[in-house]
Chains A and B, each alone.
Chain A
Amino acid sequence: MRRAFLAILRRDLTLAARAGGGGELALVFFLTLVVLVPFALGPDLNLLSRIGPAILWLGALLSVLIGLDRLFQADEEDGSLELMRASPLPLEAAVLAKGLAHWLTTGLPLALATPLLGLLVALPVEGVLPLVATLAVGTPALSFIGAAGAAVAASLRRGGLIVPVLVAPLTIPVLIFGVSAANAALGGTVPFRTPFLILAGLSLASVTVGTLAAAAALRSAE
């Protein structure tokens, strides 16, 4: 059982490192989104620094969601999902392994890249670490809520934007508490801890619910 779990995790990490796509594209897309914002808002650093956490959170959220449609679709197309269905490993554990690999190659790099992107929006130094922390804690929720959407779309021939459309509304709570925790670190009436703990709770709940829902969707795909 553990061997099967680790095999799926290792395979997805190897594929991400070897074939490209996924994670690194999400990073480039993240950078692109952050670059686009000042063109719309103007280069006023005071304004950008005030809304910096919001820009970075929105950018990270969209970057995670855009690439999610391939999470199960690729495995469904080439038949390797059949192997996971035939495994003694419960499908839930397979989903957990794939979601974990997705987070390690997408969400975590995005969180780690935010200090650099923070420079672009003149994020105050004291806001950098809290922002990285909120993204590191919040992105698993995005990966796993997304996994449920991706599982529903796995057998669709024309997936495309359907996954972000399905999933984006479900990520609103994560966005709210992620941004408010990051903002709380920059001052304000709410202490950082409160929204941050709620964010962590949301994340844990999403990992559980997302895993169960994705496995159920994959099982009933036909």
Chain B
Amino acid sequence: MNPISFPHLRLFAENLTCRRGGRLIFEGVSLSLASGEAVSLTGRNGAGKSSLIAMLCGRLRPEAGRIGVEGADEAELTELCHLVGHRDGLKTALTAQENLGFAQAVLGQPAATPVEALAAVGLAHAATLPVGYLSAGQRRRVALARLLVAARPFWLLDEPMSALDTASQAMLTGLMRDHLAQGGAILAATHGPLGLNEARELRIGP
């Protein structure tokens, strides 16, 4: 694995308002996420954590407010963000390795090979198994391995710790530390602790 070093970038959002289906989800949310920083996004269920993440990666247009990147072209925002959401983005009929190979080809900026990435999440033995054979926790780890096959500075993680056992949670914490050390940044919506001491907390909603 070649060592990766990201340039200094800052993702910022100012006074975001989110309205879905006519209902106001949140308003006045601001955020700054620079290289090497981690933010844990907390809030009640339905406070809009997933919506905020969808806005940051360009999937959802904010009703008001501004999202931008310092140090890069704004249009590239979607190509700077890595999203691992509730849905694993895996095809059950394909093997873990094929799934990651597909993600690598589609996302571009190749970093680790699929096999290396699977080894990093402790699933080297499952590389050639169809994902349909894997348990929910194992699938989640395959989805997280996607973070390693393409080098993107901003990791946007939606409940990354769910479905993971303690050992895998520690593994993920390790991956996040490495990413921060490489100059990456992490925003993670979470209920529990991320295990990162340096993480700031951003609480949205009441």
Note whether A and B contact each other (Cβ less than 8 A): yes
Binding site for B on A (CB under 8 A): 3-4, 6-8, 11, 14-15, 18-19, 77-80, 82-89, 222
A220 to chain B, nearest CB (A): 9
| Structural contact, B107 and A83, CB atoms closer than 8 A | yes
- Chain A residues with CB under 8 Å of B106's CB are 4, 7-8, 83-84, 86-87, 89
Binding site for A on B (CB under 8 A): 54, 57, 59-60, 78-79, 81-83, 85-91, 93-94, 98, 101-103, 105-108
| Structural contact, B87 and A222, CB atoms closer than 8 A | no
A23 to chain B, nearest CB (A): 14
A79 to B99, CA, bound (A): 12
In the complex, the 5 A-B pairs of residues with the closest C-beta atoms, listed nearest first:
A79-B87, A7-B105, A79-B89, A19-B93, A87-B106
A84 to B89, CA, bound (A): 10
| Structural contact, B102 and A86, CB atoms closer than 8 A | no
- Chain B residues with CB under 8 Å of A77's CB are 87
A199 to B55, CA, bound (A): 43
- Chain B residues with CB under 8 Å of A86's CB are 57, 78-79, 81-83, 106-107
A184 to B73, CA, bound (A): 57
B98 to chain A, nearest CB (A): 7
| Structural contact, B54 and A222, CB atoms closer than 8 A | yes
- Chain B residues with CB under 8 Å of A83's CB are 89, 102-103, 106-107
- Chain A residues with CB under 8 Å of B87's CB are 77-79, 82
Contact of A18 among B54, B57, B93, B107 (CB under 8 A): B93
Chain B residue with the shortest CB-CB distance to A17: B93
Main secondary structure of the interface of A (DSSP, over half): helix
- What are 16 inter-chain pairs, A to B, with CB distance below 8 A? A4-B106, A7-B105, A8-B106, A11-B94, A14-B93, A15-B94, A78-B89, A78-B90, A82-B83, A85-B59, A86-B78, A86-B83, A86-B107, A87-B106, A88-B107, A89-B106
Contact of B108 among A4, A8, A15 (CB under 8 A): A4
- Chain A residues with CB under 8 Å of B78's CB are 85-86
| Structural contact, A82 and B85, CB atoms closer than 8 A | yes
A88 to B60, CA, bound (A): 18
Contacts A14-B93, A83-B89 known; 18 new A-B pairs at CB < 8 A: A3-B108, A7-B106, A15-B91, A18-B93, A78-B91, A79-B85, A79-B86, A82-B87, A83-B102, A86-B79, A86-B81, A86-B107, A87-B108, A88-B79, A88-B107, A89-B108, A222-B59, A222-B60
> Of B79, B83, B89, B105, which is in contact with the most chain A CB atoms at under 10 Å from its CB?
B105
Chain B residue with the shortest CB-CB distance to A221: B59
Chain B residue with the shortest CB-CB distance to A79: B87
B150 to chain A, nearest CB (A): 9
A80 to chain B, nearest CB (A): 5
A89 to B106, CA, bound (A): 7
- Chain A residues with CB under 8 Å of B59's CB are 82, 85, 222
| Structural contact, A80 and B79, CB atoms closer than 8 A | no
